[in-house]
Amino acid sequence: MAAADKIVAVTGGHFAPAYSVTKALISRGSPVLFFGRASVFEDGKDRSLEKETISPLTNVQFISLDAPRITSFVSIFRFITACFEVFKIFILHRPSKIISFGGYVSFPVCIVGYILFIPIFLHEQTIMPGKANTILARFAKKIFVSFPEALNFFPRHKTMCIGNPLRERYEVHQKPLWYPKTDKPLLLILGGSSGSHSLNLLIKPLISELSKKYCLIHQIGDSSYGDYEDLRHQTSKSYI
């Protein structure tokens, strides 16, 4: 990697804005240490979206971190182990700052960063902040939120509402060719990478009834569950 004073550590459970910021950092010449999960679940069978997406990027080192929710003595041991792993990496690379997007994977990264006097910047994507950002806020130099309502949960003197970082390809200036010509209200259905599967199971038996009133645009999500193959045969013209 390049000079240590340019390296930025990125972590957190909200991958979409983390990825957008990572791409922006790369474009500005800053190497990135990306701390994330290698697999969707703890059994390690399915590679995570962040692992699949971040690993091929140039000037980014993806670091798989086993950072659990603190629910038992075993999880406390795993958390301490994760902190030691982060400590060794930080001593080696000396990142200039940490940008965290919430979630339990961010805990050891930010705690070790605070001990090593590395500035921490948080971004909260939701109206109701998660536990990770709520706790880590006391260690952060600056906190950014997506919604004005979230300002009430953090110290006002170091919190700013900036919205959600978006990738360039989301800046669409005209309707795509597949966009339906319909008088029905549009209903967008989408979920997170692994969470989308539960949503797909819920929506499947409702598609026929919903498409009588709405035009459904369904982003199916992670392909490892076979949801696309299962739902692609829906015959309604109001289901995309």
- pLDDT value at residue 54: 86
| DSSP reduced 3-state for 22 | helix
Gap between the Cα atoms of 187 and 85, Å rounded: 44
- pLDDT value at residue 2: 43
119-161 residue pLDDT tens: 999 999 888 888 889 999 999 999 999 999 999 999 999 999 9
Gap between the Cα atoms of 7 and 33, Å rounded: 7
3-state helix, strand, coil in the chain (%, to 5): 40, 20, 40
Mean pLDDT of 52-75: 84
Strands (E), the chain: 8-11, 32-36, 60-64, 97-100, 120-124, 142-145, 159-161, 186-190, 215-219
176-188 residue pLDDT tens: 666 677 788 888 8
14-30 residue pLDDT tens: 888 898 899 999 988 99
Residue 5: pLDDT band by 50, 70, 90 thresholds?
Answer: very low
